[in-house]
Structure 1
Amino acid sequence: MKRLESTEIGKTGAGPSKSGALTIAPASTSCGEVLVKLLENYGVELVFGIPGVHTVELYRGLAQSRMRHITPRHEQGAGFMADGYARVSGKPGVCFIITGPGMTNIATAMAQAYADSIPMLVISSVNARQHLGNGNGMLHELPSQRSVFAGMTAFSHTLMSVDELPAVLARAFAVFDSARPRPVHIEMPLDVIVAPAAHVSVAMPARSAKPCADPRSVAAAATMLQQARRPLILAGGGAVNAGIELQQLAERLQAPTALTINAKGLLPPRHPLLLGSNQSTAATRALVCEADVVLAIGTELGETDYDTVFDGGFRIPGKLIRIDIDAQQLARNYPPSLTLLSDAAGALQGLMQQLPSPSEPARPDASWGGSRVAALRGEIDASLDHPARMQHRMLEVVANALPDAIYVGDSTQPVYTGNITFDAATPRSWFNSSTGYGTLGYALPAAIGAKLAMAARPVICLIGDGGLQFTLPELASAVEAGVPVIILLWNNNGYGEIKKYMQNRAIEPVGVDIYTPDFLAIARGFGCAAQHVATAAELAGALRLAASANRPTLIEIGEIEWTGQEQQC
């Protein structure tokens, strides 16, 4: 892959270089410069990317802009950083990516963001218009780059003229503002990037608002909920901006409320109606089957939240009301009795206006509500096996040491446990890659993006030794960018969860006992602080020290016993 050091950047002949990249500096304001100004006007703060010969013209105006550029060590890292930034800030993460291998490198990150409904704007180069689809063997050429990414984006568009740029960006931000937020890909041919564009307006169009539910549907849903004896709420990541409204509705209905992993924090920990994120457990499944009306808000009702045991055992036999901003999602997985096509906050506000006032008593069965939730949570806690108890106690040590932390997780054992047992204090403060697409290596770059979005709060990267080796070089990115993330490394010397999965199925483990390097030495070599901890007291002390550091810290922890006495340290 050709990068910025290519000598072809300095050529000054007319027309394209051998790589297909135009090498003459634009005589007037170029399309790439106008793009930078437009992004700045949309409020974009950060751009993630690795400059290459096919994207340098996107950088022409970047140094003079208010936007900060972050350089990862791999384009997949750029995508995961943009994802983590978007999840914490609520704003789209923006990437500048080169043609061909840069785009195929970022594909996994785009697919994870697509699965979890995360706003991401990927702006790439593509070969010059006269070379598109010709198969002439141009540098970084794909037969159809746009077609490759159409299936993991809200839309993928080839910018065939500079005059299209404002309208295409407006379409992208309309998706982010008012539709189900997912990645958008805009590819710019090399000759279009450098084309004169001084005449293109950088004025902002009117921004879109999120849709509101039909009043008749709201009234019908309110009637159904008011008549329910055993109402229950299932809230997903689509409700992440509706925490106040969700809590008010749950309390008005006295409805037990389960949150998906991406919805953690919408009800505060220890709220009497909070079921947690345990929809795959037998106890919660039984409770859902008892509910006569289930209100599902901004949730796919998908496998990675409701059937992590993969047995198809989650059912909703009662009436189902679905609220979603995606019309197609209203009809997927479980057939609804009633649908509300709407932003979650708007729909819940409408329901609250239709329901009886707080002074009027709720109508659920006497055994429903808070008392039933407390019994169920006690049953689930009692059912945890020994490793899960130890991992939960470890997470409690972290929460006690850093109560306002943001947790960014990979696919690793403590994350799987925390998905069931851990209650986040606020929305957007617990998320990981075990949902949706389920990739490895996500947590480190995503934690960097999260810390860039929320510098004032500690950001914990929860990752295993196998997953860390996917994106280990991003430690250098964190040091270079001055991002003091805390990497909590669960080191069990291999792919422990997969090994257990194989053993449970009487499969002789193969390929899971991988070589494990000296992570502490590697982290120090990158410029990070690093230490191993063996007790709860050591972990708490290391976390507090790391939270005040000005560089990343790697804290390695193995599978040790966390006793009740240690937990109090």
Structure 2
Amino acid sequence: MTRCAEALVQLLEGYGVETVFGIPGVHTVELYRGLHGSRLRHISPRHEQGAGFMADGYARASGKPGVCFIITGPGMTNIITAMGQAYADSVPMLVISTCNRREHLRLGHGHLHELPDQRALVAGVCAFSHTLQHPSQLPEVLARAFALFGCTRPRPVHIEIPLDVLDMSADDLDLRPRSLPAAPAPASNSIDAAVALISNAKRPLILAGGGARRAAEALAALAERLQAPVALTTNARGLLCAEHPLLLDGVLSSAHGRELIAEADAVLAVGTELGETDYDFFGLGPVTFNAPLIRLDIDPLQILGVQAATVGLLGDAEQGLLALLERLPQREADATWASERVARVNAIEHAGWSAKQSRMQALLDTVRDHLPQPLIVGDSTQPVYQGALGYRAPTPNSWFNAGSGYGTLGYGLPAAIGAKLAQPLRPVVALVGDGGLQFSSAELIAAKEAGVGVILLLWNNSSYAEIRDYMNAKAVPLLGVDILTPDFAALAQSCHVAHHRARDLDGLRELLGQLDNINEPVMVEVDATTFLAD
């Protein structure tokens, strides 16, 4: 007999899933019966939150949904933070969990791992949550999940399977994957309306977010046609090459960036929420637009959001950008305004950095320039916040972190493990502070066990330094931020992982030259106090 759990694994294989993250439990053993002998690789994190972060990093680096197998009850409560981060950043994640038998649901009889309503608990951090009532529903529900990932705003999906359903026969199911719809293109009349607004603009501006991360070529071509400066959010870094003359540094929240926005006579926002953590990080107030605003987005709620569009283009970013290119009249754009403003705004940005900021920026640039096409996955830590202002990623999807949006701690290391599994031939760096690492340090031994060659770049300032600085700025007495940290060399040794120290940029360069082709994790510890003093 083919059980429902085994049918699930076969369907996942059909949809191209290659890796599953999860911790076996008594409520998921039937899923593991299905995994045995399949083509799917199973990775065992040390905490379900780590499983979710690994799936997140895998999805961002691969473009495929990250998949988790999670037990009922505590497994689901553990993974919710990771689902919240993925929800905020529009990351496709498929969380498959168990739940108690159908006849036991919502009765409160004290069964193992029982929750009053597991679906209600996760509803706020997923696109949808479904309880499978019979194996016959499985093909349709999985098809819905993969359709959502591919043709609308991707966010986590939760499917829970009662224990009795998991063990039921699925012999009569058609286990072939269903044909999935393509993402829609914006309507023709909307494209015409957008072209009418931007075709004669003398000072156009483009704001691009994570929703455009698979439209790099089209975005660059449109920017060059219009001679429009381009500002990229954290999740859009790398959509223009690092040396591109139209590329603005991370000025979206700064006063000089606001001045540039005010000067524009047409603004095209592509795949961006125009949210606080990208556009108002310094508390200047919500960004406003004097010019007509064109919003290209797969999510209609964004087009109708607080920053309402003059013209809304509902659909896939790449298709929308290509349609604009096709219909824009050929004209010789004046590059003077763009080149002057980009140079001026970037110069103001760099001149405003403190010595500490410049030093952290040098660390980021050293990592980028001394590893071949590195992928940097960050936690919420000081060098990552500096990177939001000045890091120029070499390629799309090669710089992402938890420093914006939901803003969790503990993300960097497990997400980097997932990214390395998705991109095994590229160097992957987890940039993590000592405080954030203590949220998920157990995943270091999971990386060792799985043979995942992540470079853990540890920024050690023996504190929650970003919060300490914020408390100082607000004249709040310091409490709870100067923390006792582990002996990280001993921690690495206990996880069977090599440990190195980089005292300065020269030492870091030398180390990086030895670490671009490793097949197991390594920790590189940077003493922030010493590094910033040199």
Q: TM-score range by the shorter chain?
A: over 0.9
For residue 112 of structure 2, what is the aligned residue in structure 1?
A: 139
> What are the within-5 Å matches in structure 2 for residues 191-202 of structure 1?
191-202=164-175
Classify the secondary structure of the residue corresponding to 1:112: helix
Of 104-113 and 391-400, deviating more is 391-400
Give the corresponding residue for 1:94: 67
Following superposition, the deviation at residue 435 of structure 1 comes to 1.4
Q: For residue 16 of structure 1, what is the aligned residue in structure 2?
A: none
Q: Is the 8 Å Cα contact of residues 534 and 560 (structure 1) preserved in structure 2?
A: no
2:268 pairs, out of 262, 286, 295, with 295
Equivalence map 1:143-182=2 (5 Å) = 143-182=116-155
Amino acid at match of 1:463: V
Task: Find the aligned partners of 2:175 and 2:93 in 1 and give their Cα distance.
Answer: 21
TM-score between both structures, scaled by the size of structure 1: 0.92
Equivalent residues in 2 for 1:143-542, closer than 5 Å: 143-357=116-330, 360-362=331-333, 364=334, 367-542=336-511
Q: CA deviation at 1:292?
A: 1.2
Deviation at 1:227, TM superposition (A): 1.6
In 1, the alpha carbon distance for the partners of 2:162 and 2:202 equals 60
- The gaps in structure 1 that reach 5 residues or longer are 1-27
Whole-angstrom distance in 2 between the partners of 1:304 and 1:147:
28
CA offset digits 1:125-147 (Å, max 9, x no partner):
00000001111111101110001
**C-alpha separation in 2, matches of 1:431 and 1:98:** 28
Structure 1 partner of 2:37:
64
User: Match of 1:144, as an amino acid?
Assistant: D
TM-score, normalised via structure 2 length: 0.98
1:50 aligned partner: 23
Task: State the SS of the aligned residue for 1:201.
Answer: coil
Does the Cα contact within 8 Å between 2:253 and 2:284 map onto a contact in 1? no
1: CA distance between counterparts of 2:170 and 2:421? 32
RMSD over aligned CA atoms reads: 1.3
For 1:39, the equivalent position in structure 2 comes to: 12
Q: Is the 8 A contact 2:127 2:155 kept in 1?
A: yes
Question: For this pair of structures, how many residues does the alignment match?
Answer: 534
CA–CA separation in structure 2 for the residues paired with 1:268 and 1:60: 46
SS at match of 1:185: strand
Asked whether the 8 Å contact 1:532–1:556 carries over to 2, the reply is yes
SS of alignment partner, residue 121 of structure 1: strand
Query: 1: distance between equivalents of 2:200 and 2:161?
Result: 55
Q: In percent, how many aligned pairs have the same letter?
A: 55
Q: What is the match of residue 12 of structure 1?
A: none
Write the letter of the residue equivalent to 1:125. T
Kindly indicate whether the alpha-carbon contact (under 8 Å) linking 1:390 and 1:561 is maintained by their aligned counterparts in 2.
no
Query: What amino acid maps onto 1:247 in structure 2?
Result: A
Q: Are 1:393 and 1:562, in contact at CA under 8 Å, matched by a contact in 2?
A: no
Q: Is the 8 A contact 1:546 1:552 kept in 2?
A: no
Q: In 2, are the aligned partners of 1:523 and 1:554 still within 8 Å (CA)? A: yes
**Contact kept in structure 1, 2:135 and 2:165, CA below 8 Å:** yes
State which of 518, 521, 524 in structure 2 corresponds to 1:549.
518
Question: Secondary structure in 2 aligned to 1:61?
Answer: helix
Aligned to 1:6: none
Q: 8 Å contact 1:479–1:527 — kept in the other structure?
A: yes
Q: Which amino acid aligns with 1:337?
A: T
| Rounded Cα–Cα distance in structure 2 between residues aligned with 1:438 and 1:107 | 14
The separation in 2 between residues aligned to 1:313 and 1:321, in whole angstroms, is 17
Deviation at residue 370 of structure 1 after TM alignment: 1.6
CA–CA separation in structure 2 for the residues paired with 1:310 and 1:101: 37
Shift of 1:277: 2.5
- Larger Rg computed on CA atoms: 1
Report the Cα offset of residue 548 of structure 1: 2.9
Q: Deviations over 1:2-31 (max 9, x none)?
A: xxxxxxxxxxxxxxxxxxxxxxxxxx1100
The one-letter amino acid paired with 1:547 is D
Three-state SS of the structure 1 residue aligned to 2:300 is coil
Alpha-carbon separation, structure 1, partners of 2:486 and 2:4: 46
1:551 Cα shift? 1.6
* In structure 2, distance between residues paired with 1:214 and 1:277: 32
- Out of 310-319 and 368-377, give the one that drifted further: 310-319
Q: Which runs of 4+ in 1 moved over 6 A?
A: 561-564
- Aligned partner letter, 1:255: A
Q: Greater shift after overlay, 221-230 or 163-172?
A: 221-230
